[in-house]
Structure formats: C-alpha cells, structure tokens
C-alpha cells in the first residue's frame, strides 16, 4: 500500500471531514448515559453524517473472513477492545464505551475515537481512562515534522506501561486520507525486530495519520471469534481506545479531529 503525501488543499478537505467526526462524538457524549444504547448512538451519528452530505467509511467495510461491517460506528463496551457492533443492550452505570467514528466527505476521510464512562466510573476505571487519553496526547506531542514514527510508539508505550497497563499489539494507528487505512502503520509500542511496521519511517510534511492507542487494564492479548467483528481482551479485563487524525505540516502538526 502506497504512502500518500497530501497538499494543503487536500488536508483542508480532511479537516472538514474531521469536523463532522468531532460533531458525531459530541452527539455520542450526550447519549453516553445509563439506559441508552449503542444503537441510539449509531443512529444519531448516521443522521449527522447524512445531514452533512457525507458517508461513513465504516458502513459496509469489508475485511477478509468477516461480513461487511453493519454500522456507522464501532461501539466497544468494557472488555471489547475494538470493532464492537452497535446493538440494543442497555448501558449501565460504570460501563466504559469506546466509540470509533469515521466520516468521508468529498472523497476525504477523518477518523477519531473516544472512550466514554457511563455515569460515574469506579476509581480503577478513572485511572484507566486517564492513561488512555494521556497516552494519545503523549503520542501526538511526540509527532514532529521530520521526526520518526518510532517516537510516537515509544511515547505511547512508556506512558501506558508506566501506569501498569498494556498496549494492544494486534491493532495500530495508520495513515488516513483517501482510504480509511493507508501507509504508514503507526504502532503504539516499540519492537526493534518488527521491521514490517517500519517504525523508523520519517514523519514527512504532507502525511496524515491516525494515532490510536488501545489500552488494556490487564494483559495485552486479545481474541476474536472467526467471522465475528468484535475483538475482546483475552483475560476479560477492560479496555479503552482514544484516537485523533493529525497532519504533519512543514513546521508543526495539526489535529484535524478536534471539536
């Protein structure tokens, strides 16, 4: 898969998609209350996307061995790490719900995720949420024009493991723009032997990447049944997921999915 370098005009288009993504997550936040459902969240996001004349790149997304994804967003509750399918399960006090939203507008994609606590989270959940969010900001802060992807990976891993949590290995950040998943891969951990991840690739002006740490309360291992979308923690521990799309510019980085 080729790596894309985007012009200022193209980055402006991705920024417009990112604005809609942030509006979708604000709508989800309002619905993140006891008695709500992830299906209601999905419906609200679908309405916002349609009203803006956009589309969801998640709806119908095809992955080998799985049926096309059936929703506008991924909704992953508690021990579900990623790719949860929205349904009518009632959310209860203390649930942690990770919502991943993508928007395609005029051929350009923005992608972001956030984990919401339903009601008042317990103290352990508060610490986990803080670690996940702060890991995202650490990764963004480490992203510098002409720096290395490795810098992002190292910053995320150091924060997460320094708090006593685990970074998911099977799923990583990625380039994004005209396709939902582009080069380069952006891991949240450093493995000097994993040359396939090309962790020493430079961060070139014009690159647009999604940084997205997935942080497990217990071990890093995950599991997924064949043909089924949701990915769960193998030990049943809770997981959180935070993501922003950023652009690498000549003299700085810009977060394209902020409210």
According to the model, what pLDDT value does residue 196 have? 44
What count of other Cβ atoms lies within 10 Å of the Cβ of residue 33? Answer: 12
Cα dihedral value 109, 110, 114, 119, nearest 10: -90
Q: Are 51 and 58 spatial neighbours (Cβ–Cβ below 8 Å)?
A: no
Residue 214: partners with Cβ closer than 8 Å, 6 or more residues away: 81, 82, 167, 168, 171, 188, 239, 240, 241
pLDDT string in tens for the chain (259-residue length)? 567 999 999 999 999 999 999 999 999 999 999 999 999 999 999 999 999 999 999 999 998 889 999 999 999 999 999 999 999 999 999 999 999 999 999 999 999 999 999 999 999 999 999 999 999 999 999 999 999 999 999 999 999 999 999 999 999 999 999 999 999 999 999 976 654 445 578 999 999 999 999 999 999 999 999 889 999 999 999 999 999 999 999 999 999 999 8
- Provide the whole-model pTM: 0.95
* SS3 category, 48: helix
Q: Tell how far CA 216 is from the center of its chain.
A: 14
β-pairing, 173-175 vs 208-211, is antiparallel
What angle do helix axes 149-162 and 123-142 make, rounded to 10 degrees?
160
Per CATH, which fold does 8-255 belong to?
A: Creatine Amidinohydrolase (3.90.230)
Is the Cβ–Cβ distance between 187 and 127 less than 8 Å?
no
Q: Write phi, then psi, for 49 (nearest 5 degrees).
A: -60, -45
């Amino acid at each position: 898969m080729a790596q894309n370098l985007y012009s200022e005009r193209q980055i402006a288009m991705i920024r417009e998609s990112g604005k809609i993504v942030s509006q979708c997550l604000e709508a989800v936040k309002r619905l993140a209350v006891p008695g709500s459902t992830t299906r209601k969240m999905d419906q609200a996001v679908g309405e916002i996307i349609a009203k803006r004349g956009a589309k969801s790149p998640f709806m119908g997304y095809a992955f080998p061995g799985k049926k096309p994804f059936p929703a506008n967003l991924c909704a992953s509750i508690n021990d579900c790490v990623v790719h949860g399918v929205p349904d009518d399960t009632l959310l209860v006090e203390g649930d942690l719900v990770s919502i991943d939203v993508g928007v395609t507008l005029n051929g350009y994609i923005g992608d972001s995720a956030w984990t919401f606590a339903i009601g008042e989270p317990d103290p352990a959940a508060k610490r986990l949420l803080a670690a996940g969010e702060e890991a995202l900001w650490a990764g963004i802060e480490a992203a510098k024009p002409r720096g290395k992807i490795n810098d992002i990976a190292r910053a995320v891993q150091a924060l997460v493991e320094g708090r006593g949590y685990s970074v998911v290995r099977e799923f990583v950040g990625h380039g994004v723009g005209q396709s939902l998943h582009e080069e380069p891969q952006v891991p949240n951990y450093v493995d000097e032997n994993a040359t396939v991840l090309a962790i020493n690739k430079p961060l070139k002006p014009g690159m647009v990447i999604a940084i997205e740490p997935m942080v497990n309360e217990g071990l890093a291992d995950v599991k997924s049944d064949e043909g089924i979308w949701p990915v769960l923690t193998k030990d049943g521990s809770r997981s959180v997921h935070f993501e922003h799309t950023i652009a690498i510019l000549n003299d700085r980085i810009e977060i394209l999915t902020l409210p």
